[in-house]
Structure 1
């Protein structure tokens, strides 16, 4: 008779996501995962496969995590400007207990050069954020909130580049005031 699982898979994936986010893929050993996740090695392999498979599942969990925060923050925003400001603030300040930076940026830097599957995941996530920014910029241009002198898609590429840089800087000891100045500079492009 098969044993029943004594753990919540989503809770374990959330823990794995945070561990990979903090330590990176290469620095996270199976022993680290077993200890941090609080499950037996055999349960880890039986439920999630090998470390790479667990990492891919943790990335899927991260997508849900980000989508939830983005949808919630953007739906509460009263304008396109506030929605974009929310994205910048979230990348800088996040929420209590959020590891610094961004798991997608971390994996793009660490793994994408030699792992096509990870490269595809990172690239897809970046396209989604650029599209979100372009849609918000278009909305702001249509309602007169932003200048219409620049193409929304090109401006979104530029703003996304700033967001990527902020996600990298957020992993360092950079002063948050500096990060907010960079965000303010990026936001000012909406008015030119």
Structure 2
């Protein structure tokens, strides 16, 4: 008969995510993970696998949390422009909640050449975000909010790039007014 786990798997995963997020993949040791998660080493390996497998699981969990948050906040938007602006505003709000920047961006910067599985997850999330932006632009065109001459696909690339850039900037810029000006300048292409 299998032993019952003596820890909350999701809580332990969130603790691992926090440590990876703060320190990065390379600087985080297995001993630090075991200690921070409050899980015995054997239980950690049995439940999450090796360090790389654990990292991938934290990325998947982060992506789920981000998608839930976006869906929740998007439900209150009244226009396509407001929804796109909200995506940018969320990047600034994350600065207060998570001063370490976006976990996906951090992963892309640190592991782009070293971990194809992690980078595939980053690309999957970014592709999903790109599709959301494209759909919002098409919605705005159909409602008359945006010009029908806008290239929705090209604009989705532009906004994803701008959003990733903003997520990098929030790691070092604390001037919220400057960040809001950047958002406003980006949104002017929709006019």
Give the alignment's TM-score, normalised by structure 2: 0.93
Aligned to 2:19: 19
What is the CA–CA distance in structure 1 between the aligned matches of 2:49 and 2:12, rounded to whole Å? Answer: 13
Say how many residue pairs are matched. 191
Q: Secondary structure at the match of 1:76?
A: coil
1:114 deviation in Å? 2.1
Contact kept in structure 2, 1:21 and 1:99, CA below 8 Å = no
Structure 2, unpaired ranges of 5+: none
2:163 equivalent to 1:172 = no
Aligned to 1:94: 94
What is the CA–CA distance in structure 2 between the aligned matches of 1:152 and 1:178, rounded to whole Å? Answer: 27
- Give the 5 Å matches for 1:62-81: 62-81=62-81
Q: Alpha-carbon deviations, 1:56-100, whole Å to 9, x = none?
A: 111110111011101001111111111111110111112863343
Aligned to 1:157: 157
The CA RMSD over aligned residues, in Å, is 1.6
What is the CA–CA distance in structure 2 between the aligned matches of 1:74 and 1:25, rounded to whole Å? Answer: 31
Q: Secondary structure at the match of 2:7?
A: coil
Aligned to 2:181: 181
1:174 deviation in Å? 4.2
Seen in structure 2, the aligned counterparts of structure 1 residues 85 and 100 have a Cα distance that, compared at 3 Å, is: farther
Aligned to 1:8: 8
What is the CA–CA distance in structure 2 between the aligned matches of 1:51 and 1:114, rounded to whole Å? Answer: 14
Contact kept in structure 2, 1:112 and 1:122, CA below 8 Å = no
What is the CA–CA distance in structure 2 between the aligned matches of 1:15 and 1:48, rounded to whole Å? Answer: 13
Decide which moves more: 170-179 or 139-148.
Answer: 170-179
Q: Secondary structure at the match of 2:128?
A: helix
Q: Secondary structure at the match of 2:97?
A: coil
Q: Alpha-carbon deviations, 1:35-67, whole Å to 9, x = none?
A: 221111121111101110000111110111011
What is the CA–CA distance in structure 2 between the aligned matches of 1:89 and 1:170, rounded to whole Å? Answer: 11
What is the CA–CA distance in structure 2 between the aligned matches of 1:89 and 1:97, rounded to whole Å? Answer: 13
